Chain A
Amino acid sequence: MTGTLNLIGAGLIVIGGGIGLGQIGGKAMEGIARQPEAAGKIQTAMIIIGALLEGLAFGALILGR
């Protein structure tokens, strides 16, 4: 079998990003369920944090390519 370690690194990045996004999404849902009237604010904050996380993951993917 041949290949580069880069692919394993990419897989690790995706696992990390997935865990992070899952945490953000899950907690946001919990928050919305507890306080439905704050749904808009929670959603905006969720998207921002998601984007920050995504930027980190994409940065790692691009630098590691």
Chain B
Amino acid sequence: MMIAKKSIKFVAILALVFTSFNAFAGGGETPSKGGQINTPESIKGYIKHHLADSHDFTLYSYTNDAGERKHVGFPLPVIVWTSKGLKTFMSSAFHHNDDGHVVVEKGGVKFAKIHSKIYELEADAEHVSFDETHHATNAHRVLDFSITKSVFGMLFAGLLMFLGFGSLAKGYKKGAIPTGVGRVLEPLVLYVRDEIARPNIGEKKYKKFMPYLLTVFFFIWILNLLGLTPIGFNVTGQIAVTVCLALFTAVIYLTNGSKDFWAHTLWMPGVPVVLRPILAVIELVGFVLIKPFSLLVRLFANITAGHFVVMSLIALMIVLKKDFGPVASTGMSFVLATFIMVIEVLVAFLQAFIFTMLSALFIGMAVEEHEHDHAHH
């Protein structure tokens, strides 16, 4: 009886997952703006549009019988710092225009949106004019603090984590065994502690870094998984996000470096004195630049490549329709996209694990204390 119940739940979850794949496939097929997406160039444009951040939250869009583009979704607030101070308005004011033709006037400042970036028009300009390389000549970028799609995604992930871990923490007041969501979260927290933090940082000091490691692990994992849903977030594939995460790690291990760590980095004992300055430069560049850079590039490139491959495979059904007919091309792209999607679920976890693991490893290198210098390899 118990097993039957469980298997029904399992099948239900499986069905949910697969319908979401379907919905995602459907999302890939819809044109972004204007006409149908059926050429390799327009598909490339659509994928680029998906990978970039956006000021609108569009779930899907379609062309109705009258030939108008309809977008289903909701607008997000635009918060910009202009030459005349802070201005806020909803992104719906642009009417989904992305090439600068819709000019919005708010508080004496004119705005246009070009390729998902907000531009401020010069005081005397009425329309955006472009030079031959498609750069705006009479508009300039503004400081953009908008709640964009990615910011919305991060806030959403933060809310999920707050609710989940809040209930887990509250559960411990009632007893040692968590209930509800906590049952799923507790093993994951223990996994991060026992498999990532303890072996890499060391028994004595790991506790201090647990909050950061847990936060970064679940933040990346949740956002990676959200990126695979039909909602279409691409937060961990934004280089700004990964740069910030890598900077957090770098600042943490540089500010917590032990005396031994700095001694070994700047004046390596046990090697000829001539070599020590050279080693110091190499070690410093490694810790300050190369290690954070490899962290940020790995996450960014993995997630971007994953989204790119999934969307390209979905686009196969449109590209190959002429040669193979609709059924064969759709079937092929469905099978391939499903296969890659399953791999992406694994990659979503793996990248969160790797980022946390390497953060812990670097922190462990920095906080390590040696009994005496001869013990060092």
- Residue positions of A touching B, CB distance < 8 A: 44, 47-48, 51-52, 54-56, 58-59, 61-62
B195 touches A55 (CB 8 A): no
Residues of A within 8 A of B302 (CB): 54, 58
Question: Which are the 6 A-B pairs with shortest beta-carbon distances?
Answer: A58-B301, A55-B294, A55-B298, A51-B354, A59-B297, A58-B297
Listed residue (B297, B302, B357) with the most chain A CB atoms within 10 angstroms of its CB: B297
Tally of A-B residue pairs with Cβ under 8 A? 35
Q: Is the interface of B mostly helix, strand, loop or mixed?
A: helix
Q: Among residues 335 to 365 in chain B, which have CB atoms less than 8 Å away from a CB atom of chain A?
A: 350, 353-354, 357-358, 361
Q: List 17 A-B contacts (CB under 8 A).
A: A44-B357, A51-B354, A52-B294, A54-B302, A55-B297, A55-B298, A56-B294, A58-B297, A58-B298, A58-B301, A58-B302, A58-B305, A59-B293, A61-B301, A62-B297, A62-B300, A62-B301
Partner of B294, one of A47, A48, A59: A59
Known A-B contacts: A48-B357, A58-B301, A61-B301. Give 12 more (CB < 8 A): A44-B195, A44-B357, A47-B353, A51-B354, A54-B298, A54-B302, A55-B294, A55-B295, A55-B297, A56-B294, A58-B302, A62-B297
Q: Is the interface of A mostly helix, strand, loop or mixed?
A: helix
| Nearest chain B CB to A48 CB, angstrom units | 6
| Nearest chain B CB to A51 CB, angstrom units | 4
Q: Among residues 265 to 306 in chain B, which have CB atoms less than 8 Å away from a CB atom of chain A?
A: 293-295, 297-298, 300-302, 305
